Amino acid sequence: MSWFFARKKQEPFIKAYVESTPKTVADKTPTADMRFVAIDAETTGFDTAKDRMLSLALIEVRGGRLQMASSVKWLIYQPAAAMTSAVSVHGILPAETATGRQEADVVRDLLPLLQGAVLVGHHVAFDAAMITAALKRHFRVSLRNPILDTANLAMTAVDAFAKTGYPGQRAPSLDEVCAQCGITPVERHTAEGDAFTTAMLFLTLCARLQRNLGRPLKAGDLPIARP
């Protein structure tokens, strides 16, 4: 009866994602050889246990350039979406999600696009946690991608945001870092706008850090964290 207790066979797209996505990146890996994906999710709230994604967007960064043809966005159907304070920020009304795609279909399409990439976002741990919650609901799998928070990168690359050593120092907001770097945010508080803005910010901060170091960047120069 051992077959009774055998684990359910992984679907091919999950197996491919797991096999091609290591959780760490070797410190000596040149960033020019790495694949980054900027992501952003707009949600019903900030509780990863009970809130849900309403929209999700990504754009690939490779070889120091935005890969505009790679940009993807989804509106996600959530039958229990309600009018919350988050609506006043992202503007996605409950009725709009009725035209969206099923959450399971979205994350099924998402995983192949994330294979082997470092996920980039501003306070990206939240976006990653929301995606992982959806993956666990539908496919019992978690994100494996290393993550890079542009707030932490700004504290490394920009003197104005440098770590002070004092407890409770607040990480800079996306708007604050954009203002410091001379970047005008695009369609703020939309998933596609914030993903594009974050990707532009990531490239700008990397260029600044490379200038500071006086050499090409390697993975170990960036604040890349495990998922």
pLDDT value of position 187: 84
Rg (CA), the chain: 18
- 178, pLDDT greater than 90: yes
Average pLDDT across the chain, whole number: 90
Find the mean pLDDT for residues 17-30: 97
- 23, pLDDT greater than 60: yes
Percent of all residues in the chain with a pLDDT value above 70, rounded to a whole number = 89
- 212, pLDDT greater than 90: yes
- 179, pLDDT greater than 80: yes
Q: What domains lie within the chain, and their CATH numbers?
A: 22-225 (3.30.420.10)
Find the mean pLDDT for residues 44-63: 92
Q: What is the pLDDT of residues 99-157, one digit of tens each?
A: 889 999 999 999 999 999 999 999 999 999 999 999 999 999 999 999 999 999 999 99
Q: How many CA atoms lie within 13 A of 157 on its CB side?
A: 26
Q: What is the pLDDT of residues 64-109, one digit of tens each?
A: 999 999 899 999 998 766 556 555 455 565 667 788 899 999 999 9
